[in-house]
Amino acid sequence: MLFVTQQERLTLTILGGLALAALGILAWQQRHPPIRVEPGPLPPYAQWDARLTAARQLDLNTATIEELERLPEVGPSLARRIVEYRQAHGPFRRAQEIVQVPGIGPKTYEALQEYLTVR
């Protein structure tokens, strides 16, 4: 006859429960293999998102005053200054150069950044 104390019985019960839980986890992992995503063509909505993003961007070197006025934070006088700056200094090489236009600071550039491109 085995004699075990109350604490030993509790410890064995906990260890048995943990062993059963571990076996259950192993069985579950074997029943449900990990999901694999295989590369393939982009879904139509992803192509639409890319086209929409491209359509929202405005080329600083070809934009008219009217097109520039549609941008956030840009009114008629600021749009005119952008075009005048471009005519005086030549085409923009990077979109960040727009901060050199009088009236456009870092905050305004931050608001415009996603809409600007230079091709």
Distances (CA, A) of 103 to 17, 24, 67, 84: 71, 66, 18, 13
Overall number of domains in the chain = 2
Give the CATH number, domain containing residue 112. 1.10.150.320
Instruction: Output the pLDDT for position 3.
Output: 83
CA distance 41 to 26: 35
Residue 49 lies in a domain: no
Confidence class for position 1, pLDDT limits 50, 70, 90: low
User: SS3 for 56-118, per residue?
Assistant: HCEECCCCCHHHHHCCCCCCHHHHHHHHHHHHHHCCCCCHHHHHHCCCCCHHHHHHHHHHEEC
Q: How far apart are CA 53 and CA 64, in angstroms?
A: 20
Residue 61 and residue 112 in one domain: yes
pTM for the complete prediction? 0.57
Percent of the chain with pLDDT over 90: 63
Amino acid letter, 109: Y
Residue ranges making up the domain that contains 1 = 1-31
Q: Please indicate, yes or no, if residue 63 is contained in any of the structural domains.
A: yes
Query: What are 5-40's pLDDT values in tens digits?
Result: 999 999 999 999 999 999 998 887 777 667 788 888
